[in-house]
Structure 1
């Protein structure tokens, strides 16, 4: 039987962890599913690869012999995938960058300029993805790279690099009692209705509601919003207030909306994110362009 690359990846994870539960978690599959695949691989090869008892897992002689060869096969396949992806991408010559909101402080124009220096025949297409996809298109392959505010759901499954930190501000209706303040203590906002991201945004929803800084005090939700335009229309209508990064305050100026710095909150963090198994060279250049274009921390 010819083993599939997937089977070899499952074998490698199990051989490196020597624990089916940890290996299954690493592979994002269930432990019974992993055990079934390993048994099928063993049956196909007609050997036993692991010795198992209730407490330990160990490689057999056959498993030990397979281990370096499986690593080589998987590494060569990954290299082949990168070459194919690079060739296909070079033909398209368009890098799709996912964002959930606009990004302030001139980062996107600077990114395009730096990327053009590194990849003269390429262009960057920015795709704005609604907040119900917290990965801005990475999870379903709709984008190549993303600029995301942290944290986001399943963040540990992606390659994440923080490129900027910015204080959190608050957007308020222009007639709000705090709109004239130069700076607003977060404690003064605790009883305000807040605009919330969809629940699918998980930890990022909590970040923009400042849940960790509330000391267990419940959040008043004025409305759930799916995108930036909807958010600031809701602010102008008086449905609630919303936290935002300082660099985005100027981008989202609207009649009837003011933005003020908030004291007492840790800063927001902006990261460049890619899929962990996507090692295309064009992404390395794009990430380097982001590093060069990123503004100094505010």
Structure 2
């Protein structure tokens, strides 16, 4: 079996997803990869194993005899790996008594993090909280691959059914645009007036979150024009100032980009955005529960703070009790 020695878990996950969908485009969407990249990986796996796993023709995709034989074993490997990764994450966390909290940029919002930290530390003085900055390529801020225990993220998340969360803020989406833009003089802008504008977009790997910040749902099936892709606050500011496109931004993030030359305006016709503290469903470790509880208490207790949304502070999507 030397030929299989270097097969990656990722390649097995790609194979299983295509086998389940029997459709490369749908499988690619589920995996948040491009369809050509997925096809290339499957072909590489077939070369490595020396067999054809999937037969492609104009009618679609079907499993070969070899593919059917491999599928149940590949599923078992993926399940065992997921269990192993979960146990390793728990062991790491127990060894260090540290909670790793991910985020794509600092939440700000009126001192949210220090307030949660002081409440959490009062209950668990022996525990440490480590904040980890995660690139915008990963909308789960490290939750998906186990790099973080909890994360401040925006909904919707890829694989959202795998997570529980408590809502930190529900905020309107504003539009940021250069102060020289023809629409900048309006105190409020209707989304229909923005629909044809080029927009700045998150990386494709952000999946449903990219669509949310492009307001795909509000476009009645018309595709957005993407002027540039952005993967950091700095890139967003530079692209806006350069006139590459306009950009939707949550109220709480406005301070991150309102440097010279830009304005933000309210937009009519857009649903609000939801900012949450999320964790993996079924993670019942005491530190995870305690940090979630501290977050809930802080967003309830400080009515003057901008991160307390009306009637939302106690709303959570939480199966951990």
TM-score, length-scaled by structure 2: 0.64
Task: Give 2:16's aligned residue.
Answer: none
Q: Distance in 1 between matches of 2:269 and 2:225?
A: 19
Residues 255/124 of structure 1: CA separation in 2 closer, same or farther (3 Å cut): farther
Q: Secondary structure at the match of 1:179?
A: helix
After superposition, residues 1-298 of structure 1 pair within 5 angstroms as 85=90, 89=93, 92-106=96-110, 107-294=112-299, 295-297=307-309
**Runs (5+) with no aligned partner, structure 1:** 1-20, 22-27, 40-76
Aligned-pair CA distance for 1:118: 2.1
Deviations 1:66-109 (A, max 9, x none): xxxxxxxxxxx99xx69x947x5365243221112332422222
Residues 32/100 of structure 1: CA separation in 2 closer, same or farther (3 Å cut): farther
Q: Distance in 2 between matches of 1:131 and 1:196?
A: 11
Residues 258/38 of structure 1: CA separation in 2 closer, same or farther (3 Å cut): closer
Task: Give 2:17's aligned residue.
Answer: none
**Runs (5+) with no aligned partner, structure 2:** 1-19, 21-30, 32-66, 77-82, 300-306, 311-321
Aligned-pair CA distance for 1:222: 0.5
CA contact (8 A) 2:170 2:272 kept: yes
Q: Distance in 2 between matches of 1:142 and 1:238?
A: 36
Q: After the TM superposition, which segments of 4 or more aligned residues of structure 1 sit over 6 Å from their partners?
A: 30-34
Q: Across the two proteins, how many residue pairs are aligned to each other?
A: 231
Task: Give 2:48's aligned residue.
Answer: none
CA contact (8 A) 1:112 1:123 kept: no
Q: Distance in 1 between matches of 2:177 and 2:101?
A: 30
CA contact (8 A) 2:121 2:127 kept: yes
Aligned-pair CA distance for 1:197: 0.7
Aligned-pair CA distance for 1:35: 5.4
The range that moved more, 264-273 or 96-105, is 96-105
Task: Give 2:79's aligned residue.
Answer: none
The range that moved more, 160-169 or 119-128, is 119-128
Q: Distance in 1 between matches of 2:289 and 2:233?
A: 29
Aligned-pair CA distance for 1:176: 1.4
Deviations 1:157-200 (A, max 9, x none): 22233332111111111211222322221112111110001111
CA contact (8 A) 2:139 2:154 kept: no
Q: Distance in 2 between matches of 1:174 and 1:105?
A: 25
